[in-house]
Structure 1
Amino acid sequence: MTILDARVSAPSEGGPSFSLSNRLVRAAWLVVWAVAASWTPRQLAPWRRLLLRCFGARMAPGSDVRASARVWYPANLSMDERAVIGPQVNVYSMGLIEVGHDALVSQGAHLCAGSHDSDSPEFQLVAKPIRIGAHAWVAAEAFVGPGANVGEGAVVGARAVVFGELQPWTIYSGNPARVIRPRRREGR
């Protein structure tokens, strides 16, 4: 079995949300990141990209996950060119999380691609993908929830809470996130 074979599978009724192999891969990942990456300086971004790729992440050239960030399951992370996940960001990648080119997720933000079925007696996991468009910015300590789609060039203000669809080139703030104003496009 390879690391990529341990992806999230649909839970059986009343059973665990993740297979034993998935849980073992995540445990190995935590150890590898703690020992080989969590202490590295910014200049070692290529090394961190390599480690993430070894655990199934799709990391484009120039993308960066800062050393103090936490990635729950790398195989559910996809980052385009020059996308950055900043310091102390929690990437709770129970479902797929895609970060577009030149997008920035700032310090302390929380990307949470899963929740629990509140109608299930066992509170089974429900994973929904998160998409952050090209040129978007998720500011410090914002929360982006399961199924959120942050449009191209959109800005999520500091500590904002996002669920659902955010329009491209628009600035949002608050809990829940609301439109503040359109965002100017550079050079246009």
Structure 2
Amino acid sequence: MTARDLSAFTLAGYDKGRSKAVQALWFAVMNTVFSAWFCPARLRVAILRAFGATIGEGVLIRHRVRVLWPWKLTVGDRTWIGEGAWLLNLEPVTIGADVCVSQEALLCTGSHDHRTVDFRYRNAPITVEDGAWVAARAIVLAGVTVGRHAVVGAGTVLSKDLPELTLHTADGTRTLKEPQQ
């Protein structure tokens, strides 16, 4: 195996999607107003929309939520994003309707290719389909789709697609029943 040379790393193939000025403005707003406890949830939604996110109706975003790039975020109607959740979206994150992303969950679209000397990016989008639940402190990794009404259990790491109506826990996966009306 060839030794890793991090000095050879570049941003090749990664497009942040906005100018450095817009990126800086977003970081300033995110770190002073957006994530603050005193910022109303409706204002958080308005701020994300102002920075290019597509956000549905009735969305609740709690305080201390971090979003790397709002312009790479789509959220469906009536979705909840819990306190301290981190949407590390170097690539698009698409969250469906009636989804719950619980406290301190991490959706991470970024990764590196450990097989290359320059440790280049190996990023991929994440999709969380309608009715899914990403429980507290769960981690969803790059390139993964969480199926309709699936559950990513608290504290687990999901590195491959989770079919609809499936529960993923530290003990494995099992099929769920259709939600009751």
Range of TM-score over shorter length: 0.7 to 0.9
Q: In the aligned structure 1, how far is the partner of 2:79 from the partner of 2:162?
A: 19
In structure 2, which of residues 144, 162, 172 is the aligned counterpart of residue 178 of structure 1?
172
SS in 1 for 2:116: coil
Do residues 63 (structure 1) and 56 (structure 2) align?
no
Quote the residue 2:124 is aligned against. 128
Q: In the aligned structure 1, how far is the partner of 2:17 from the partner of 2:149?
A: 39
Q: Under a length normalisation based on structure 2, what TM-score does the superposition of the two structures give?
A: 0.85
SS in 1 for 2:94: strand
Structure 2 gap segments, 5+ residues each: 1-7
Q: In the aligned structure 2, how far is the partner of 1:123 from the partner of 1:67?
A: 34
Change (3 A) 1:120 1:155: same
Change (3 A) 1:139 1:93: same
Q: In the aligned structure 2, how far is the partner of 1:99 from the partner of 1:131?
A: 6
Write the mapping of 1:24-43 to structure 2, written as runs, cut at 5 A: 24-41=21-38
Contact 2:16 2:90 in 1 (8 A): no
Structure with the bigger RCO (C-alpha within 8 Å, sep 6+) is 2
In structure 1, which of residues 74, 77, 82 is the aligned counterpart of residue 73 of structure 2?
77
Quote the residue 1:114 is aligned against. 110
Q: CA RMSD in A?
A: 2.2
Read off the aligned partner of 1:30 and give its amino acid letter.
F
Quote the residue 1:92 is aligned against. 88
Deviation for aligned residue 1:115: 0.5
Q: In the aligned structure 1, how far is the partner of 2:49 from the partner of 2:18?
A: 18
Measured against aligned partners, the alpha-carbon deviations of 1:50-91 in whole angstroms (never above 9, x if no partner) come to 110111111011123222111111111110001111110111
Measured against aligned partners, the alpha-carbon deviations of 1:134-173 in whole angstroms (never above 9, x if no partner) come to 1100111011000111000001111111012111111111
Structure 1 gap segments, 5+ residues each: 1-12
Paired residues, number:
172
Measured against aligned partners, the alpha-carbon deviations of 1:73-119 in whole angstroms (never above 9, x if no partner) come to 11111100011111101110001111110000100111001101223
Q: In the aligned structure 2, how far is the partner of 1:89 from the partner of 1:156?
A: 14
Contact 1:26 1:72 in 2 (8 A): no
Q: In the aligned structure 1, how far is the partner of 2:80 from the partner of 2:29?
A: 20
Q: Under a length normalisation based on structure 1, what TM-score does the superposition of the two structures give?
A: 0.82
Q: In the aligned structure 2, how far is the partner of 1:153 from the partner of 1:79?
A: 16
Q: In the aligned structure 2, how far is the partner of 1:41 from the partner of 1:21?
A: 28
Q: In the aligned structure 1, how far is the partner of 2:148 from the partner of 2:49?
A: 25
Contact 2:17 2:71 in 1 (8 A): no
Contact 1:95 1:128 in 2 (8 A): yes
